[in-house]
Amino acid sequence: MIYHIPYDTEMSKELLGKYIGKHKQYVARSARPLMDAYINKYPIFLAPPKMDGKPDNRIAVNYAKYITDTFNGFFIGIPVKVDTEDETVSEYIDLLDAENDGDNLNAEVSKLADICGSSWEMYYNKEDGETGITYLSDTEAFMLCDDSILERPLFFIRYYKDEDGNEYGSYSDSKIVRHFWYEGGDYHFEDDEHIHGFGYVPAVEYLSNDERMGLFESALPAINAYNKALSEKANDVDYFADAYLKVIGASVDDDDTFHIRRTRVVNFDGDISEGNYPIVEFMEKPSSDETQEHLLDRLKTDIFVTSMVANISDENFGTASGIALRYKLEAMSNLFVSKARRFTSSMIERYKIIFSSPVAQMHGVPKDAWKYLDIHFTPNYPANVESEATVAKNLEGIVSKETQLKVLSVVDNVKDEVERLEAEQMPSVVDNIFE
């Protein structure tokens, strides 16, 4: 979440308290219910108990997590590729990934963005002198930007509570980091300011979409309705299991009732020829099973249609051809393209900030090296290496060899692959790999 303030605004305790308060309201209203849904904390578990000992099942199918993890695997299951022609820059990016577990970092940032609609990266100086990168949920951080059309970042604010409920945090501008704490109804700044060394506010927002909507946010009412309907269906099953025994035409005392319950045998006198005999049968509740099943099926369909994420556990997926799968995944592919554009912009901003630090210069990285990065996201379709090889071969003479290699999902790093071939003294293979 970002908020807008005049560009010449200075940080103060009043300003900090005002916008942390605004952000807490946003979290309680929007972000927290989405995060709760992902970790299987649904309203069905908070509903008031049934009266008079009636069946009270609380069942939740965690479609929020399923939708998020399915799309996240599709979006970034294949690690992001960051290419550059500058070997020094490439080696430094590899170092950053090694220092910060780059693939996991990207996956977590992507997942958090899908849950709440946006997520954050924050950059800092590690104890070993290298640059550290951490990811943050939209529930614990926000940005104050200027009110111009450029929305230039002014202050990045992160806050949290410790195990004892005490609130701490920090804010960063383009030069310093300063820590604060909350006590006595007010925020207090630490006296020391720390120069972070980056040329910009050291944080970047990652958006899942421009509206900052969670991936399953529009489907959440249907998910809650599904969980309620499924719980009531389980209650109905319990009702049927506790059916009442109806006895007409005979007197049953407590001893008889105990005997029937213990031995499950009913024996009453009566004249069958005269039709004057006791009637003993279970009272049946009208069944609504068909209606319930229809509702559950409809809600399940609406959940996936609304979220635009395919239900890959559907049995039809296992028998679909490659072309049919592409059509089934078309909506999810459109989400992929849209999100990849936004994440590419954010990752470019990541390297712009990191390359501005003295640490990057010590590694020989130019400040403007971010302008020459090629960031490539690959959708995690079911792999068909034979088809990929055919496409790559058909590109011969149209695109470069490196672009041909990018088509192949079995190639993780194009430059490394070319270098391995050259190291094996097989340049002819590189030139004729698809011939």
- CA–chain centroid gap for 386, Å, is 32
**Contact status, residue 211 vs residue 117, Cβ threshold 8 Å:** yes
Reported as a single tens digit per residue, the pLDDT across 347-356 is 999 999 999 9
Q: 123 pLDDT band (50/70/90 cuts)?
A: very high
Name the more confident of 120 and 57.
120
Residue 120 is predicted with a pLDDT of 97
Tokens of 303: 């959940």
Q: What single-letter DSSP state applies at residue 319?
A: G
pTM greater than the 0.95 cutoff: no
Reported as a single tens digit per residue, the pLDDT across 269-287 is 666 556 667 777 766 666 5
**Where do the domains of the chain lie?**
1-228+290-369, 383-435
- Angle among Cα 290, 296, 298 to the nearest 5 degrees reads 100
pLDDT tops 90 at residue 49: no
Residue 407 is predicted with a pLDDT of 73
Average pLDDT over every residue of 237-252: 69
Average pLDDT over every residue of 245-259: 71
Residue 397 is predicted with a pLDDT of 77
Average pLDDT over every residue of 306-331: 72
Task: Give which of 128, 130, 143, 78 is closest to 106, Cα–Cα.
Answer: 78
Q: How many helices (H) and strands (E) does the chain have?
A: 15, 14
3-state helix, strand, coil in the chain (%, to 5): 50, 20, 35
**Contact status, residue 310 vs residue 304, Cβ threshold 8 Å:** yes
Cα dist from 422 to 84, 304, 409, 428, 429, whole Å: 18, 47, 20, 9, 9
